[in-house]
Chains A and B, each alone.
Chain A
Amino acid sequence: MSSFVLADNNICIWSSSQGVIFLFIFISIDFKYAAVEVELEFKGMFVHVSNQGDQKHDVLYVSTDGYIRLTEKTLDIIPMRHLDSGLFVSDQVHGLKVDVVSELTGYTEWSSQTSPSISIGWDWKLNCFKESRTYEIVGAPFSNLLLQDEFSNDLTVGENLKRISKIINKLDWVDDLKGHISKKYV
């Protein structure tokens, strides 16, 4: 578990499970008035800190309604990693009975290694009768992320899920899924 905390206006602390690492960024000018943007890379993780606009939007935090609010620009620099995947052995959700297995269905979960953590999960299916077996996303994703536009307005629920779906399509998720499913079930 890694965590990222903006301790105050000019100190940034980052800790990881491999040990505690502190990064201190001292900005000699008044943080309130200066335009400051910092992008840090450490062990493959990127964190961007900015005081452009509302400072809170560039630091991960959980709103009282449970959402993490971010712009897509900020989200772009936060790596998402595979957390878990599994099969729906039968149609566990909808209570349907299936006699012949024509397709496999399941879920996959991805999250950021930040604190708080961004979570995105979605369902997938694999059509066993198709010659070229491809994994397809089923339905809208599940997430604690609420994307905002450039004016810090929340997107509608529908638009939010649509944008998150596009982000999923940019992830190379199938290889992680296949690897995890093989280990878990074979």
Chain B
Amino acid sequence: MEFIIGSSESISDNVKAEVFSYRYKVFVEQLGWELDTPFDREVDQFDHENTIYVIAKNQQREIIGCARLLPTTMPYLLEEVFPELLNGLAPPKSSDIWELSRFTSLDLKEKGIPENTQFSLDSTVDLLKQTIQCAKRQGAKKIISVSPIGVERLLRKAGFKAHRAGPPKIIDGYPLVACWIEVE
């Protein structure tokens, strides 16, 4: 497995196009999220020049996982779209707090993937660790994530200190939660 890590500016347009196509297949087609996104690519206003991507590829150089990191000093998903997940707390704005979103680890060529699954690989924890290390290199001391509740289980399995920010919000029948993650 190979990881490609970098800012939007440092990653080639081809790789970014692959990421957006992969995210469309996972989040729109696989998970059924109703996102306002162009056909065949999942991209939004938070994919900009300051966005950091962590991308996992297999030996065939196909994407099998990705994550998105955003500085909270700029507009970010939780602040703009899901502020209620912070349970009344003002969205943080700090250079040492980064947001993790669009985290998935799924080999789309794997057969028999159940619906509503976004993590299916043993490498999921590796991707999570790579992502948190990447945030640390950007100066993060904490990460706030917005994700399905499965990420809480992953964080615990990987040994990270994390706790939820508030109750989950049920979206399309599935709970979405914000989590505070300590970066050590």
B87 interface neighbour in A94, A140, A144, A157, Cβ under 8 Å: A144
How big is chain A's contact interface, by range?
Answer: 20 to 34
Contact: A115 with B88, CB < 8 Å? yes
Q: Is B89 an interface residue (CB 8 A)?
A: yes
Would A117 and B89 be within 8 Å (CB), given that A95-B120, A109-B175 are in contact?
no
Contact: A107 with B149, CB < 8 Å? yes
**CB-CB nearest in chain A for B88:** A116
B166 interface neighbour in A86, A95, A144, A157, Cβ under 8 Å: A144
A184 contacts across to B, CB distance below 8 A:
173
The binding surface of chain B is classed by DSSP as loop
Contact: B167 with A111, CB < 8 Å? yes
B100-133 near A? 1/0 per residue, CB < 8 Å: 0000000000000011111111101000000000
A24 contacts across to B, CB distance below 8 A:
none
- In the assembly, what is the distance between CA of A115 and CA of B88, in Å? 8
Contact: B87 with A117, CB < 8 Å? yes
Would A93 and B87 be within 8 Å (CB), given that A66-B165, A67-B163, A117-B167 are in contact?
no
Chain B nearest Cβ from A95, distance in angstroms: 5
Chain B nearest Cβ from A6, distance in angstroms: 14
**CB-CB nearest in chain A for B116:** A89
Q: Is B152 an interface residue (CB 8 A)?
A: yes
Question: Beyond the given A62-B88, A144-B165, could you list 7 further A-B residue pairs with CB under 8 A, ordered by the A residue number?
Answer: A89-B114, A89-B115, A89-B116, A92-B119, A95-B120, A109-B149, A121-B152
Residues in chain A within 8 A of chain B (CB atoms) = 62, 64-68, 83-84, 86, 89-90, 92-95, 107, 109, 111, 115-117, 119, 121, 123, 139-140, 142-144, 146, 157, 184
Q: Which 8 A-B pairs have the closest CB atoms?
A: A119-B167, A111-B167, A93-B153, A66-B165, A116-B88, A116-B87, A66-B180, A62-B89
